[in-house]
């Protein structure tokens, strides 16, 4: 045709636009195959810490060797377990300026550290 439009016969012979597919009925989203990890759970083979366990251990069982670093909520110390001789990092959280109690960022950090097992990440052993 001379109007600049392509000839429908050359494009498949049907001048009408293709029909859109039937709309699918709305279904609830499928749960993905990969579930998000539960951060609050103990590691495999680890006993869950109960409220009665809190306060049974004390930082006095560690001898402080020196300060490693300092952050927003306190200091991190290099220390040695007096019973086992194991070298550890102690994080002392400062709460004196906190009106809301224990900082939510520290709680998030604890939850994440309890789940991480990697050679480049310090292993969290316990909360005292």
Please tell me the predicted confidence (pLDDT) of residue 51: 47
Q: Round the CA-based radius of gyration of the chain to a whole number and report it.
A: 30
**Least confidently predicted of 39-48, 80-89, 111-120:** 39-48
Could you list the residue range(s) of the whole structural domain that residue 99 is in? 59-114
Residue 69 in domain: yes
Q: Retrieve residue 106's tokens.
A: 């520290």
91 is in an annotated binding site: yes
Q: Give pLDDT tens digits for 65-85.
A: 999 999 877 899 999 999 999
Residue 17 in domain: no
CB neighbourhood size of 79 (10 A): 19
Please tell me the predicted confidence (pLDDT) of residue 37: 46
Q: How many separate domains does the chain show?
A: 1
Please tell me the predicted confidence (pLDDT) of residue 38: 46
CB 72 within 8 A of CB 93: no
Distance separating alpha carbons of residues 32 and 30, to the nearest angstrom? 6
Please tell me the predicted confidence (pLDDT) of residue 101: 76
Please tell me the predicted confidence (pLDDT) of residue 102: 77
Classify 86 as helix, strand or coil. Answer: coil
pTM of the model: 0.50
Q: What is the CATH number of the domain that holds 86?
A: 3.30.200.20
Q: Give pLDDT tens digits for 51-68.
A: 444 455 688 889 999 999
Distance separating alpha carbons of residues 77 and 88, to the nearest angstrom? 8
Kindly give, in sequence order, each residue whose CB lies less than 8 Å from that of residue 88, ignoring residues fewer than 6 positions away: 62, 78, 79, 80, 81, 125
CB 67 within 8 A of CB 79: no
Residue 80 in domain: yes
């Amino acid at each position: 045709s001379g109007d600049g439009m392509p000839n429908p016969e050359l494009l498949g012979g049907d001048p009408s636009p293709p029909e859109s597919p039937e709309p699918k009925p709305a279904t609830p989203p499928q749960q993905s195959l990969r579930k998000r990890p539960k951060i609050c759970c103990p590691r495999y083979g680890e006993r869950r810490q109960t409220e009665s366990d809190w306060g049974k251990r004390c930082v006095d069982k560690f001898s402080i060797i020196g300060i490693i670093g300092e952050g927003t909520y306190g200091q991190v110390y290099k220390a040695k377990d007096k019973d086992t001789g194991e070298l550890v990092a102690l994080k002392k959280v400062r709460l004196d300026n906190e009106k809301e109690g224990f900082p939510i960022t520290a709680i998030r950090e604890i939850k994440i550290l309890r789940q991480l097992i990697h050679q480049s990440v310090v292993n969290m052993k316990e909360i005292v």
